[in-house]
Amino acid sequence: MFFIFGWNHTKTTNYGPVEEHLCKNCHNTEFWHLNKISSYFTLFFIPIFAHDNDYWFHCPTCNYGIKLNNVDFLNYKSIAEINSAFLEKSITDEERIIQLDEIYKIIEKNNEEKNNKNIEESKNWVKLASEKTTNELSIILENTNKYNPAFIIAAKSEISKRNSSDNN
């Protein structure tokens, strides 16, 4: 007995229009769409289960797009569902606007939290770089692929700050 199995059979799910966007590639202004691309493990050429998902916000004209993380995908999915309901005339424009406002408030709050987290992390990297000797910072800058990019930026900034204070 033998089994025929495989993987990376893909299935694309289009969730519909999200928001109007100017495409950097084709320069059209269109309602960009949201897609989920699932890669499946197959048995006898039948998709059994998804082993990987990619989420894309893309131009419907040229398919240029932005890969999304899971949180952004879920937010955009909610927007696409509201827009689809409006296009299908199951909600009014006023209801659509109210629902979109609620989602945009959630997105804004999430972005604010993410920015605050990034600011805190940056402060920690700057503090860590300030505690290093100039020789240690030079060694770090010679091996940039071994360190967090935010730490590399903080190390460069610290060396520049030290060099400018040495020149004064």
Longest Cα separation, the chain: 81
Locate tokens 């240690």: which residue?
136
- pTM confidence score: 0.67
- Report pLDDT for 168: 62
Rounded-to-integer distance, Cα 66 and Cα 52, Å: 17
Predicted confidence pLDDT, tens digits, the chain (168 residues): 666 666 678 889 999 999 999 999 999 999 999 999 998 888 877 778 888 899 999 999 999 999 999 989 999 999 999 999 999 999 999 999 999 999 999 999 988 998 999 999 999 999 999 999 999 999 999 988 898 889 999 999 999 998 887 776
- Report pLDDT for 46: 78
**Per residue, what are the HEC states of the chain?**
CCCCEEEEEEEEEEEEEEEEEECCCCCCEEEEEEEEEEEEEEECCEEEEEEEEEEEEECCCCCCEEEECHHHHHHHHHHHHHHHHHHCCCCCHHHHHHHHHHHHHHHHHHHHHHHHHHHHHHHHHHHHHHHCCHHHHHHHHHCHHHCCHHHHHHHHHHHHHHHHHHHC
Dihedral pair phi/psi, residue 31, rounded to 5°: -80, 110
- Report pLDDT for 1: 61
- Report pLDDT for 9: 81
Rounded-to-integer distance, Cα 142 and Cα 165, Å: 22
